[in-house]
Amino acid sequence: MCGNEALGEAAILAGCDAYFGYPITPQNEVTAYMSRRMPEEGHVFLQCESELAAINMVFGASATGKRAMTSSSSPGISLMQEGISYLAGAELPAVVVNIMRGGPGLGNIAPSQGDYFQATRGGGHGDYRTIVLGPSSVQELVDCMPLAFDLADQYRMTVVVLADGILGQMMEPVVFERKQGRKLPSKDWALTGAKDRPQNIVRSLWLGEGVLEELNCKLQKKYEQVQKNEVLCEQFAVDDADIVVVAYGVAARIVRGAVSKARQEGIKVGWIRPITLWPFPTEQISKAADEFRLFLTVEMSLGQMVEDVKLAVAGKSPVLFYGRPGGGVPTVDEILEKIKQLTIPEKNRK
């Protein structure tokens, strides 16, 4: 299946009750697929009049305790930022899929990783975070969907699945499994009718003196728990490496090919792939930096995740960057050549 259709089926198997979306390339297959499959399963599908409408309908469905999601691509996700901030302020769970395209502006429909800042820094106004998952294969995109819904429900947060046009369009074999999910808290906050119980109020407007500050402090404690418990990353051949390449998503697939070729040529190089882009695997990268190594961050952008890598390394090792923006996709040979340029002379090794 292509990635866009596969993630749609995975969302349905994960218990998605309602999907709201608006067409935009390169994620249109998600909306088309859900328009057919959600009604077949007796669930809600609605093509909205805009991305603004879609995210606010997600807010409404989530407020009733339903598992709700939307998907879009970069300009459409930008239009949703106000609604995502409202979701954070109301502590409502939601899943948002961004199949990234080239920017800024309308840009183009080529694959990109230029939305990393937007996704990992909240993206809208206020002090809030979203959990961000960065899959690198269609199977992992499938596996991310039940995790995304579980994380959203557990922490009452928006979870962003951050992929790109290549992953959305590419076709790979996939296996769908109904796996046992997490044990989740009850949704006693949901708007389900107040018969025989006190009413619930879902809102993101807090005007009382000190009330909003108290909410923000509460949210921060929750985010600290996410950072403590939910970091995911993958590592290869880091222990003996002189050079560590850090990449995520489709860029990480290309890096794997370059690292494999470099190893065949006797170059000691490994890679670290963040799977959760927030919370970021700061500790794992910091540990790798305890030994003298060069770090190379590879992105399909002009450099966004590289800032998090530098923060994690904390000056212990050099952090260099290679990237291509606006729909440019680096090749295995380009990355291999960059690795060769960075090979550490014997005299500088510990």
- State which amino acid sits at residue 308: D
- Which residue blocks in the chain are alpha helix, DSSP H? 3-13, 28-40, 51-63, 74-79, 81-90, 116-120, 138-155, 165-169, 211-229, 249-264, 282-288, 305-313, 332-341
3-state SS class at 299: strand
Expressed as residue numbers, the domain containing 324 is 233-348
Q: What is the pLDDT of residue 181?
A: 86
Q: What is the pLDDT of residue 338?
A: 96
- Taking CA atoms, 64 is separated from 58, 102, 204, 328, in Å, by 10, 35, 15, 42
- Respond yes or no on whether the N-terminal peptide bond of residue 279 is cis (omega within 30° of 0): yes
Q: What is the pLDDT of residue 170?
A: 97
> For residues 225 and 221, what is the distance between their CA atoms, to the nearest angstrom?
6
For residue range 274-325, what is the model confidence (pLDDT) as tens digits?
A: 999 999 999 999 999 998 889 999 999 999 999 999 999 999 999 999 999 9
Give the CATH number, domain containing residue 325: 3.40.50.920
- Respond yes or no on whether the N-terminal peptide bond of residue 39 is cis (omega within 30° of 0): no
Band (pLDDT 50/70/90 cuts) for residue 177 is: confident
User: How many structural domains compose the chain?
Assistant: 2
- State which amino acid sits at residue 64: T
* Token pair listed for 340: 């060769």
Give the CATH number, domain containing residue 141: 3.40.50.970
Mean pLDDT of the chain: 96
**43 plus 109 within the same structural domain:** yes
Is residue 74 within 8 A of residue 104, CB to CB? The reply is: no
**149 plus 182 within the same structural domain:** yes
Which of 181, 200, 229 is a domain's end point?
229
**225 plus 246 within the same structural domain:** no
- Ramachandran sector of residue 5 (left: φ over 0; alpha: ψ -120 to 50; beta: rest): alpha
Q: What is the pLDDT of residue 350?
A: 45
Instruction: Please give the model's pTM, rounded to 2 decimal places.
Output: 0.95
- Taking CA atoms, 49 is separated from 57, 70, 326, 327, in Å, by 11, 13, 28, 28
For residue range 231-250, what is the model confidence (pLDDT) as tens digits?
A: 999 999 999 999 999 999 99
Band (pLDDT 50/70/90 cuts) for residue 344 is: low
3-state SS class at 177: coil
For residue range 239-283, what is the model confidence (pLDDT) as tens digits?
A: 999 999 999 999 999 999 999 999 999 999 999 999 999 999 999
**163 plus 133 within the same structural domain:** yes
For residue range 27-61, what is the model confidence (pLDDT) as tens digits?
A: 999 999 999 999 999 999 999 999 999 999 999 99
**223 plus 284 within the same structural domain:** no
**119 plus 263 within the same structural domain:** no
Q: What is the pLDDT of residue 349?
A: 45
- Respond yes or no on whether the N-terminal peptide bond of residue 23 is cis (omega within 30° of 0): no
**26 plus 140 within the same structural domain:** yes
- Taking CA atoms, 255 is separated from 32, 112, 273, in Å, by 32, 16, 10
Band (pLDDT 50/70/90 cuts) for residue 346 is: very low
**222 plus 247 within the same structural domain:** no
Is residue 240 within 8 A of residue 214, CB to CB? The reply is: no
Q: What is the pLDDT of residue 178?
A: 82
Q: What is the pLDDT of residue 345?
A: 52
- Kindly give the pairing relationship between strand 243-246 and strand 233-236: unpaired
**99 plus 214 within the same structural domain:** yes
Read off the pLDDT of each residue in 75-101 and give the average, rounded to a whole number: 98
CB atoms within 10 A of CB 222: 14
